[in-house]
Structures are given as structure tokens and as C-alpha cells.
Chain A
Amino acid sequence: MKQRTNLRSEAGKHIILIIGALVVILPFYLMLSFSFKSPAEIQSISGGFFGAQEMMTDRKCLKAERSEEECTMLPNSI
């Protein structure tokens, strides 16, 4: 009986600490996730953790009269 109470109390402590840890980690998680996503995915809160990793074209680069191949890249390689 006492062992079960101890287990419950231990589980309760872990639940409280996990909730706290989630709040603490939230901005770190978002910062890491945003580093993989395109601006459009960040603004629409979509694409999961890594984003779709689709190739994107830099319009400023195109305006500078560089080739489309040069201006197309993965979101996190800008």
C-alpha cells in the first residue's frame, strides 16, 4: 500500500516537472523548428517540426539577374 502511494507521489512529481519542462523548452523547440522551415511555413504555422523542405526561390536573387538555379535552395541553406 505504502509502495503504491510512493509510486503515485513520484509519478505526480514527474508530471508537474514535465509540464514545467515543456514550458521551458517551448522557445528552444520553436527556434530550432523555425530554422528548418520556409518563411511561408513559419507564418502559417504548418509543416510540422522540419517543414516540407521544398526548394524555394529567392526573389531578390532573381532581381539581381542571377540564374534560377543559383537562386533556388532549401529553406535552411539561405
Chain B
Amino acid sequence: MKALMRHRLFWPIVALLALVAVNTIARPQFIKITLRDGQLYGALIDIMRNCAPLMLVALGMTIVIATRGIDLSVGAVMAVSGAVALTIIDGSSDPNNLGTVLVAIVVAIFAALILGTFNGVLVARLGIQPIVATLVLMLAGRGVALLITGGFITTVNSDPFSYLATGYLVGVPFAFIIALIAIVLLALFERRTALGMLTESVGINPEASRLAGVRSRGIIFSAYMLSGLLAGVAGLIYSANIRAADANSAGLFIELYAILAVVLGGTSLMGGKFSIAGTVIGVLIIETLDSTILFLGVSSAQSPVFFALVVVLVVIVQSPRLRTFRRRRRADVVPPPVSTPEKVEAGA
């Protein structure tokens, strides 16, 4: 039991289960999943479908954060990829043609990859702080998206494209399947090859891993490319869902929610050890909380207050100060000898 409690995913899972339990007690139909016309329906299925863009973005963010970085530009990349795809579909003679949609998707993802590469160059080649480097694209990206759509909100009616967000495959929302594929592929690449370990080593000590022969630049570079790629796919799902490319509101604040999901999942923003499963749980917590807040009748505009409280709670629980305090109470001895001057000062 103690070993179980000490597992780093213990508290995130408890939080998720508690949220589900509260919802189920408040409205029993929350947990119910019904099968209609070969498609699954229910509040949980809605959460699965709606979480797809955030899930993709948060997965990319996890790898970037593991390298001690951060990617603020994901929301802007989403806006660009949606704008590119819808402009191509809108400009074609037959928006319902599967070929057109495929071309649009490929070009949009390619555009997102270019943006990811741009971030990678700034961080890995030029050695600029990740926050600053990705801030450039966060500012400029939405401008680019607005230019692509000509300043309008491009709307299209394309059934193959909408399928990305609203379609079902063997009864499961297609968007969730995309997210699932991304999770599985990422887990395989990071955990069944040495890539994950190398990524963690770069995050823990870039200089030492470079001396040990790890090609840290390449690993950091590819992390930003991956983040751009996943944000591009997320942008496609988002724009397919609303059937429009809205350069101003597509992916607005998603970088913040993605970072929150990563932190909720137990990955430290200081880089190093990361947990893909933790991020998945973090995303599910956020989406469930969001649905709970909506159910409570709180305007969605006011929901940030709840998220702020969650952030504060989580960071305080994770903070070293509280941990030493707990350890001191448990062991009832003087705290470990790692007391830095910082703590002395803070305690004074």
C-alpha cells in the first residue's frame, strides 16, 4: 500500500477518480455509456472526443519540457495549420473530395512542421532561452494565420474534413483514435527505444549528456519539431470540429492548459524525468474538471478561477517546502542535510 501511495501517478489518478465519482454522484447518467446506431454516446465519450486537441498538444509539450524547454507557440501553430487546411479546401472546386482534403491535411501538417523547425533552430542551434524563442512564434503565428485566411473566419462544409473531429470509427470518436495512436506511438518510441532515456538525460544535465556522447542538439531539435507536428494535427481537429478557421481563438490558452496537464501528470518543469501516462491523466483531469464546471452551471468564462485554484493546490503539494515539512513530521528528526542557504533565508 505504501509503495502504491508513493508511486508518482498515485495522486493524479486519485484526483481523476475523485472527479469522476463526484460527477457520478451528482448526476448518475455521467458514467452511463449507451450504444446507438453503432456509436457510443455519453458524457465520458464526449470528454474523450473533446480532449483530443489538448491531448496531442500536451504530449508534444511533455517531450519539450523533458528537455528543459517549453513551447509557447502551440496555440499559434494550431491556428496556422487550421488556416492552411481550410484555405486549401475552401479554394478547391469540390470541398467534399477526399483527395482535396488529404492534400490540405498534408500541407497543413507540413506547415506546422516548418514552424516547429523554426523553434528548434532558435533553441537548439542558436541557444536562445525556450520561453523567449517560442514567444516569437506565439506572437507572430496568429498574424500569419490571419494573413492566410485574409483576416476572415474561413468556413467550409466538407464532410471528409469534419470526420476528423465528429466522425466515428467502430463506434469510437475518430478524434480520440487519433489521440490514442499518438499516445501509443510516442510511448513506443520513447520507452521501447533509448530515445526516452536520452531525452531525460538531456533534460537532467545537458552538458554532461553532451560529454557522454549524446547528440543533445538533435534531441532538443526533434522535440520542438514533434511539438509543432502534434500541434498541427490538433489544429486540424479543432478547425474540423467548428468547421471554420478562426485565427484569433483557435488554440487560445491551449499552451497554458497543456503545461498544466504536464505538471498535473507529475513531470517537473525543470526537465528530466517525464511521464506520458501522467500527461494523459493530466489531460483527462482537466477535461473532466471542465465538464464538471459546466455542469455546475458556472459560465465557461468563469472557469479559469477553478483552474487557478487547481494550479495553486498542485504546485503547493509538489513544492519541496511542504515535502520537507511532511518528512520532518513523519521522521520527527531534524531535516536532511541538504538545507541550502535558500531555505535558511526563507525560514528566517
Indicate, yes or no, whether A interacts with B: no
